[in-house]
Amino acid sequence: MRSRDGNRTFLLRLCSIIFLSSLALNAGEYLISYRYIVKDAVLYNESLLISKSMQTCVGKPQKSLMLESDGSTDLKTIILKHKEKFISFIHKLGMNLEHREKNINYQNSSTTILTLKTTCFEVDFNDNFAKISPLK
C-alpha cells in the first residue's frame, strides 16, 4: 500500500510529463526554400516553398528569428506577413547567387537568380510569436 506522499510525487511526475510533452508538440521542423529571379532589373519570379518535415532533421538550432504570429500556426502566412524581416534573415544564412549577362548589338541583358537551398528550420509556436531557427 502506498503512502499519501508517494501518490503525490507520482501525480506530480505525471503532470510534468504531460506538460512537457504538450510543449514539445508546439515545436516542429519545416523545410523552407526560397528563390527569386531578377531579369533586366525587374523582379521576374519569386517563390517561397514551405513543407513540414517528414523525418527529424539533424543539427543544432542556430541564431533564431522571432516573428509575431497573433496566435496563428500557419507558417507561410506568418512569413508572408513579415516578408522583409524573413528575407533579410535568410540572406545572412547564405544564399546561392547566379548571374548571367549578355551584350548583343549594344543592348545589355542580365539575369540574376538568388536561391536558398532547401534548409531545415525548427519552428516553435508560442501564443503571440513564432521562433524560427535554422538547423546546422
Cell of 14: 505525471
Number of domains in the chain: 1
Q: Establish if 76 belongs to a structural domain.
A: yes
Cβ–Cβ < 8 Å for 66, 130: yes
Q: Establish if 4 belongs to a structural domain.
A: no
pLDDT tens digits for 112-130?
999 999 999 999 998 889 9
**Which sign, positive or negative, has the C-alpha torsion 4, 6, 7, 13?**
positive
Q: 16 pLDDT exceeds 90?
A: no
User: Residue 108: pLDDT band by 50, 70, 90 thresholds?
Assistant: very high
Q: Establish if 116 belongs to a structural domain.
A: yes
Q: Which residue has the cell 509556436?
A: 125
Q: Which domain holds residue 123?
A: 27-134
* Lowest-confidence region among 6-10, 38-42, 74-78, 82-86: 6-10
Q: Establish if 52 belongs to a structural domain.
A: yes
Of the candidates 93, 114, 116, the one whose C-alpha atom is nearest the C-alpha of residue 44 is: 114
Q: Establish if 69 belongs to a structural domain.
A: yes
Q: Establish if 9 belongs to a structural domain.
A: no
Q: Note the pLDDT of residue 127.
A: 81
Of the candidates 32, 27, 29, 24, the one whose C-alpha atom is nearest the C-alpha of residue 57 is: 29
Task: Specify the pTM.
Answer: 0.73
Q: Establish if 17 belongs to a structural domain.
A: no
User: Which of the 8 DSSP states describes residue 61?
Assistant: B
Q: Establish if 109 belongs to a structural domain.
A: yes
What's the mean pLDDT in 92-98?
90
Q: Note the pLDDT of residue 22.
A: 42
